[in-house]
Amino acid sequence: MRLHILGICGTFMGGVAALARELGLTVEGSDAAVYPPMSTQLEALGIRLMDGYTAAHLTPAPDLVVVGNAMTRGNPAVEHMLDARLRYVSGPQWLGETVLAGREVLAVAGTHGKTTTTSLLSHLLESAGRAPGFLVGGVPGNFGVSARLGAKSAPFVIEADEYDTAFFDKRSKFVHYRPRIAILNNLEYDHADIFPDLAAIQRQFHHLVRTVPGNGRLIVNAHDDNLAEVLTMGCWTPVETFGIGRGDWQARLVEPDGSAFVVQHWGEAIGEVRWSLLGNHSVLNALAALAAASAAGADPRVLLPAFGSFQSVKRRMEQVGEVNEVCVYDDFAHHPTAIATTLAGLRAKVGKARILVALEPRSNSMRLGAHAAGLAPSLADADAVVFLHRPELPWDAARVTEALQGRGRTAPTVDALIEALRAQARPGDHVVFMSNGGFENAPRRFVKALV
């Protein structure tokens, strides 16, 4: 069977391609921008990649077209697919029907932390000898690939995104996954391009809740009132909660930066975690993953040492270099809450050292200005901020930099941003690049500029 994947170089669709290839299918695909690292990973699997979207890429006709959610009507490949009446399906539906059916699925949902928590849960199950399958929206350090099948008898861990499925299926991706165990990590307003308000996202989360069976488990953040409201819409599955100082699974911080904490389950201390991640948000991710692994039958006490060997996902506060005592990080930031919690964790670690932030408003919600009011408060722990204000940004970034009261400035290009940071940086500084896009490779370019 020959599959053609439209939008193959996205992290999710690239994972779908890898799983299809592992199943023994002939896989090819198109994307508007075929470039590393995903292109390298896919080509190494023997997957043919085509640059751009044209009808010629779908001639001769493949047996099935798998459509990514970046595809829209008017796209030449999409129009040819419809006109020629080719068989097509969305990526999440193909995954649900072809890979997840019959498996014990553990789904990780939430506005923040999905990729890290999915990677961590996969690592914990691997350390327990379960050899899980997984699909992660990034490259987990412990595995080096974004997806694998695992054994049919093993659990499958899936990053459960609330973004819509395809141009012809506006439900959230995660309704296709049918998990037995689902983590609801947190819930805030996001994706302003497709959701009009928070209530619309809560409805989608409740659609996920409706698919979890009565003999399954919901692992829910005890701090999140928005998730509590979702459960009041109806819940037919046992719930376990987690939190710092609250919930069925609790953490008591040993180190204020979150690098060490004691885990309690139903009031009983089961052991201590020491690891390389920082921040209260990372502690909550850890509790969620531990609770889900326990629900899947693993012994949580035995799992605790595995936290120490966890290697985080690339671009999640990934240190990309240190030059002249300036530490440089690359972080996948897309929401004020994620920015605030990440910087708070770094501040707890570095104390009074200066933190410089380079910020690109790259997500759809950021570009639309949906989070503009929350950006300045989220940068409270930054000593200086350079905001990339491209000419096409439809709102005035000065409303953010002015609120920073002298700590912020804008730059019209990445080159100008790098130069502005280079002029400010001094030994002992920590410089964090925050974007959910490629940022024109700015973090590594900045490292070179420091030499």
Annotated binding-site ranges for ATP = 110-116
Answer whether 223's CB lies under 8 Å from 233's CB.
Answer: no
Cβ–Cβ contacts within 10 Å for residue 311, how many? 14
Which tokens is 204 given?
A: 């989608």
Surface-to-core class of residue 13, CB atoms within 10 Å of its CB (0-12 exposed, 13-18 middle, 19+ buried): buried
| The one-letter amino acid at 265 | H
Q: What is the dihedral of CA 408, 413, 419, 424, to 10 degrees?
A: 10
Distance from C-alpha of 287 to C-alpha of 76, rounded to nearest angstrom = 46
* Alpha-carbon distances of 229 from 187, 224, 232, 296, 337, rounded to whole Å: 10, 9, 5, 26, 20
Distance from C-alpha of 152 to C-alpha of 217, rounded to nearest angstrom = 21
- Which one, of 200, 197, 199, 187, lies nearest residue 226 by Cα? 187
| Concatenated DSSP letters of 160-224 | ---SEEETTEEEEGGGGS--SEEEE-------TTT-SSHHHHHHHHHHHHHHS-TTSEEEEETT-
Asked if the peptide bond before residue 37 counts as cis, ω within 30 degrees of 0, the response is: yes
Q: Name residues whose C-beta falls within 8 Å of residue 219's C-beta, 6 or more positions apart in sequence.
A: 181, 182, 183, 184, 239, 240, 241, 242, 288, 291, 292, 295
Answer whether 182's CB lies under 8 Å from 156's CB.
Answer: no
Which tokens is 161 given?
A: 């995104």
Answer whether 444's CB lies under 8 Å from 320's CB.
Answer: yes
Residue ranges for the known binding site are 110-116
